[in-house]
Amino acid sequence: MSVIHQAFQVPYSFNIIFTKSLFSSNNKELLNFLSNFGETSFQKKILFLIDEGVYEKHSYLIDSIKNYFRSQNQISLAEEILILPGGEPVKNDSQYLDKTLHAINKFGIDRHSFVAAIGGGAFLDMVGYASCIAHRGVKHIRIPTTVLSQNDSGVGVKNGINFSGKKNFLGTFSPPVAVFNDSDFLTTLSDRDWRSGISEAIKVALIKDLEFFEWLEENAQAMANREIEIMSKQIFRSAALHTNHISSGDPFEMGSARPLDFGHWAAHKIEYLSNFEIRHGEAVAIGIALDSIYSQLLGFITDQETNRIIQLLKKVGFILYHESLEENDKMNLWEGLNEFREHLGGRLTITILEKLGKGKEIHEVDFDLMKLAVDRLKLTID
């Protein structure tokens, strides 16, 4: 027998830049990044795609982008800026992936050039996936516009679309070359979208950082009142916890552990069962509450600690129950658990709470106990 053993490492490094008014003529962050990234001798191009919902509230964006690039000659701006739908529809319908790929081809975006996506988490997922499969990978830049994408999904390494009724069935692990978190985009969010991303901060605090959880308790009303300074602090700390976990653990998820998906196995199913009327962050809030009650039923956390979690979620403004949880004698939820198992590669691994601020992985679920957790969750409805 003859064997050639090959092993190599590929370093990944990118910055998450927190800024304001990214396309203002006084803000050189993006231009400086583009000019200094990679080989300076190549003529670099950049293609922008904008989430339709973002464009409706920031209709000046196209003119701002064109004016921003007009005063320089180092970066060539693609002739067209694409406006595509955001939210889960952009991940459910393959026509938007096709349009993105056609634009990358049409405007000659090569491996020395950039695709920049401005939008929420689902929009960034789709554009990132298109970027990763075009030319086996063109450089993508994320400009998240929601709380959830600025504090979690937009600062990670995942890209993907939905397929055959399954969330993120097609996807890649490939980091962006940069993330620009512009706080201006947050000011026009609906109350639902403002609130939605807070669930991801509560999630990461519960499994990683008790002090942050306590800070969230203290500042819940300020976040609910849309105080931008407090929200910006939350986003920065949540993003730091998410990125620290990714870099220190299993960034491309070669194993089955998914601690950052605490509360997500149920959330993914609730999204589908509600026909995506429930936003991702809202579904995650329900999933967090459900798995917290399950953790309490297993004896890991106390009734009082569970109540603290429930009250924090409710104070921020979340509704913590959806009728799909008990449909078909809760068997739809059981299907969601099995789908999550399949997504992980056959071995179930979900995270529950060992205590506040510390997650614990388990590989089996007592579904009768989980059904009881659903019943108790229903009692939290005011």
188-244, pLDDT tens digit by residue?
A: 999 999 999 999 999 999 999 999 999 999 999 999 999 999 999 999 999 999 888
> Residue 136: enclosing H or E segment and its boundaries?
none
Confidence of residue 348 (pLDDT cuts 50, 70, 90): confident
- DSSP letters for 82-105: EEE--STHHHH-HHHHHHHHHHHH
pLDDT tens digits along 97-151: 999 999 999 999 998 899 999 999 999 999 999 999 999 999 999 999 999 999 9
Residue 122 confidence (pLDDT): 92
Q: How far apart are CA 95 and CA 99, in angstroms?
A: 6
Identify the residue whose tokens are 């009724």: 165
- CB count within 10 Å of CB 2 equals 3
Mean pLDDT, all residues of the chain:
90
Report how far residue 296's alpha carbon sits from residue 57's, in angstroms, rounded to the nearest whole number. Answer: 43
Range list for CATH 3.40.50.1970 in the chain: 15-188
Q: Return the SS3 of 347.
A: coil
The set of residues, in sequence order, having a beta carbon less than 8 Å from that of 315 and lying 6+ positions away, is 220, 221, 224
Taking residue 337's Cβ as centre, other Cβ atoms within 10 Å add up to: 17
The total number of residues written for the chain in this structure: 382
CA distance 77 to 281: 34
Q: How far apart are CA 25 and CA 31, in angstroms?
A: 10
Question: Measured between alpha carbons, how far is 360 from 346 in angstroms, rounded to an integer?
Answer: 19
Class for the domain spanning 15-188: alpha beta
* CATH 1.20.1090.10 domain extents, the chain: 191-378
- Sign of the CA dihedral with 303 first, then 371, 345, and 87 last: negative
Q: Which CA distances in Å does 366 have to 27, 295, 298, 323, 371?
A: 54, 11, 9, 21, 9
Distance CA 41, CA 112 (A): 10
Mean pLDDT score, 269-286: 89
Tell me, yes or no, if the pTM score tops 0.85. yes
pLDDT confidence of residue 149:
94
pLDDT at 344 over 70: no
CATH number of the domain located at residue range(s) 191-378 in this protein: 1.20.1090.10
Under 8 Å between Cβ of 49 and 103? yes
Quick check: helix, strand or coil at residue 117?
Answer: strand
Q: What is the tens place of the pLDDT at every residue in 15-29?
A: 999 999 999 999 999
CB atoms within 10 A of CB 1: 2
Residue predicted with more confidence, 8 or 174: 174
Predicted pLDDT of residue 271: 87
Q: What does the pLDDT read at residue 306?
A: 97
d(CA 105, CA 216): 45
